[in-house]
DNA sequence: CATAATATGGGACAAATGTCCTTTTTCATT
DNA sequence: AATGAAAAAGGACATTTGTCCCATATTATG
């Protein structure tokens, strides 16, 4: 549960890694590749083995809003496979990335037959609800500066790893505002 | 999936209603009662039979932020029971309310033994992730007026049923800003 | 290496939102 | 009907954030 901004789920990653299942395959991506497009059908569930993937949503007015950064063990596509909707987010790698790919029907079978897997997925979903709720609440009720301080505390290498534009889109503010805030903090010696 | 602001889950409600289970009891509340306090231990999962419950979070700076309004069939407490954390939200009735109460251990048993129940909970969780993601993204990237229009479209009786303060806290803005926006819309004849 | 594309940084001004405070309205209770 | 508490409404001003634009770095690529 270390840095919350880039979500990880070691328990799930370990379980999936140890699960010898011929249906589960591995994919590799370079930086900046799109894994799933917004509004596309989702046929497989994926779990990050290594790397960072951003999960974002482009609004009708052209603004991008980043929902989450997925790190090791984080799962995506499961929401869509479960309820049969097209993807509401786009998924794009930030760094070099490896993912496990579980076909949708195999995912359904595992949920039914593997109690431990079922439990891990329930917990992963509960965790997503929990953290997004806390994050959005914090964002809505605090100034940009507070949010930045919180992120840096969680993840000191933030500015080296994540592009400014992405940080701004994650906080739901403009790049200009983010820069202004960083400047203000520098002047105050933070 | 009708009005999204006040979330409902008919399928789950129906299933729970038809499930004859001696462990599941019923509770009734008047308006404005607290069902679960923030940071309290949660020992039971609850499902709304009738009424509206607000799920909100008080930040360190005293701001309240409303996560969701739960209507018929919506479940709460399941996140906490699943991962064993204290409640991150407070739950408070808005109208007269009836809820089904499922003790945590019984909830765990049902998940293990009742495939249909398990599936409904998985879908309910997936749905929560889906809708909160979409809502927060919309809120962050649109002006108050757009958000209000969206809410009114989803739920025309909004202003009659939900207090202004609650609408403001749901949108993550101040009451003053909300009033100003409503005024501006009136002048424009919206 | 040259050039283009992209990321970063910031000035000047406009617009949106928040803060503080006062007034009015509504509504429950005596 | 009288009173008080809570909800709603809004004036005046401060602050924050956004928009538009341009300049400078940095990186990718032919």
Please write down the HEC assignment for all residues of B71-98: CCCCEECHHHHHHCCCCCCEEEECCCEE
Question: How confident is the model at residue B189, as a pLDDT?
Answer: 75
pLDDT tens readout for residues B102-141: 999 999 999 999 999 999 999 999 999 999 999 999 999 9
- pLDDT of A48 over the 70 cut: yes
- pLDDT of A120 over the 80 cut: yes
B 46-85 residues inside an 8 A Cβ radius of A: 57, 59, 61, 63, 65, 67, 78-79, 82-83, 85
Positions 143-172 of B with beta carbon below 7 A from strand D are: 163-165
- Given an 8 Å threshold on Cβ–Cβ distance, is B78 in contact with A126? yes
pLDDT digits (tens), chain B, 190 positions: 446 889 999 999 999 999 989 899 999 999 999 999 999 999 999 999 999 999 999 998 889 999 999 999 999 999 999 999 999 999 999 999 999 999 999 999 999 999 999 999 999 999 999 999 999 999 999 999 999 999 998 888 888 899 999 999 999 999 999 999 999 998 887 6
Closest nucleotide relative to residue A145's CA, C1' based: D16
Beta bridge partners of A103: A44
- Nucleic strand D under 7 Å from the C-beta of B176: yes
As a whole number of angstroms, the distance between CA B185 and CA B190 comes to 5
- For B100-142, the DSSP string reads EEEEHHHHHHHHHH-HHHHHHHHHHHHHHHHHHHHHHHHHHHS
Question: How confident is the model at residue A3, as a pLDDT?
Answer: 65
Positive or negative, the Cα torsion across B142, B145, B148, B154? negative
The overall pTM is greater than 0.85 = yes
**Mean pLDDT along residues A97-121:** 97
* 3-class DSSP assignment, residue A113: helix
Burial code (b: 16+ CB inside 10 Å, e: under 16) for A145-183 equals: eebbebbeeebeebeeebeeebbbbbbbbeeeebeebbe
């Amino acid at each position: 549960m270390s840095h919350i901004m880039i979500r990880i789920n070691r328990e799930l990653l370990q379980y999936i890694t140890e699960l010898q299942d011929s249906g589960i395959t591995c994919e590799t991506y370079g930086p900046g590749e799109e894994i799933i497009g917004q509004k596309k059908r989702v046929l497989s569930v994926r779990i990050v083995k290594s790397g960072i993937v951003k999960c974002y949503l482009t609004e009708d007015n052209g603004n991008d809003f980043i929902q989450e950064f997925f790190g090791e063990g984080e799962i995506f596509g499961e929401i869509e496979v479960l309820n049969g909707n097209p993807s509401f987010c786009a998924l794009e790698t930030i760094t070099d990335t490896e993912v496990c790919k579980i076909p949708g029907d195999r995912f359904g079978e595992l949920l039914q037959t593997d109690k431990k897997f079922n439990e891990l997925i329930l917990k992963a979903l509960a965790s997503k609800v929990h953290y997004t709720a806390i994050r959005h609440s914090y964002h809505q009720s605090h100034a940009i500066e507070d949010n930045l301080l919180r992120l840096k505390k969680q993840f000191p290498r933030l500015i080296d790893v994540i592009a400014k534009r992405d940080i701004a889109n994650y906080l739901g503010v403009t790049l200009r505002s983010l820069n202004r805030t960083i400047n203000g903090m520098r002047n105050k010696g933070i």
